[in-house]
Amino acid sequence: MTYTYQGNIAKMLTALGDTVEYRLPVGEQYVDMNPLLGQALKLEYQGAINCIHCGRKTSKSFSQGYCYPCFTTLAQCDMCIVKPEQCHYDAGTCREPDWARDHCMQDHYVYLANSSGIKVGITRGSQIPTRWMDQGASQALPIFRTRDRHMAGLVEVILKQHVNDRTDWRAMLKGSPDAVDLAATRDHLSAECEGELKDLRKERGDDAASFLPAEELVQINYPVLEYPTKVSSFNFDKKPVVEGTLMGIKGQYLIFDNGVINMRKFGGYEIKLQT
């Protein structure tokens, strides 16, 4: 039986289980993606984009789904979201102080993850484990709790001198990485960076970063029938029709038998999905 869905899409929603469960928002509907594995799937861009924040039509998407006015005025699109160590809330120049109080001035966690190898990252407490699933991590472990996003960024700057802070998305999509001992890496980093972390607490307060020696490792499995040996990506701006057999889902990527597509990148695009 053929099903058709049409509307503006947003990043896939995830739920952690034996394998990650995915739902794709398409307009007002939510499409369960896991049951579509092994089936032919067609995605067709309809030529319209609506901002994921304000809903206005836009000819170009910025920062994964925003129109240009929102991109240049919203705090969630500011550079400090990408580089939290550059937070300027205390300087009184935050674009949206109320938004920052709700999203940035909350407990954050510095974590280690294994997606294409070991990396360090940060996330708001309420985004655990969503952040890890969105990144395609197979293992994750919180290692520090901080009082706000700025402190988490400062801790990350210290740690990333010794461990990567980026995911190689092509390597991530080629298979599951070898399991690693993240707890041992945590302890090594804590010892290696002890002096700098001590200086940070001295300058910012003892609650700037609390070490978490007892957190449990989170294991994440993804619904993938077969990983590609060569990763080629689809782009709705260059080719409006994407179709093939859905072989897997990992991070925010749909893995077809003939390429992959990052669904989060095209937030706000109007898509027709046919199964």
Reported as a single tens digit per residue, the pLDDT across 143-200 is: 999 999 999 999 999 999 999 999 999 999 999 999 999 999 999 999 999 999 999 9
Helices (H) and strands (E) in the chain, counts: 8, 14
Report residue 133's pLDDT band, with 50, 70 and 90 as the boundaries: very high
Residues belonging to the chain: 275
Query: Which residues 6+ apart lie within 8 Å of 206 measured at CB?
Result: none
The residue among 219, 221, 116, 118 whose CA lies nearest residue 174 is 116
Residue 206 has pLDDT above 90, yes or no: no
Looking at residue 265, its pLDDT comes to 97
Looking at residue 30, its pLDDT comes to 97
Query: Please, how many CA atoms are within 13 Å of residue 146, restricted to the half-sphere of its CB?
Result: 28
Residue 121 has pLDDT above 90, yes or no: yes
Integer Cα distance of 112 and 212 in angstroms: 12
Residue 2 has pLDDT above 90, yes or no: no
b/e per residue, 166-182, with b = 16+ CB within 10 A? Answer: ebebeebbeebbeeeeb
Q: What is the mean pLDDT of the chain?
A: 96
Please give the structure tokens belonging to residue 81.
């979201």
Say if residue 59 is exposed, middle or buried (CB neighbours under 10 Å; 0-12, 13-18, 19+): exposed
Please give the structure tokens belonging to residue 179.
């399991």
pTM: 0.95
Looking at residue 207, its pLDDT comes to 85
Residue 239 has pLDDT above 90, yes or no: yes
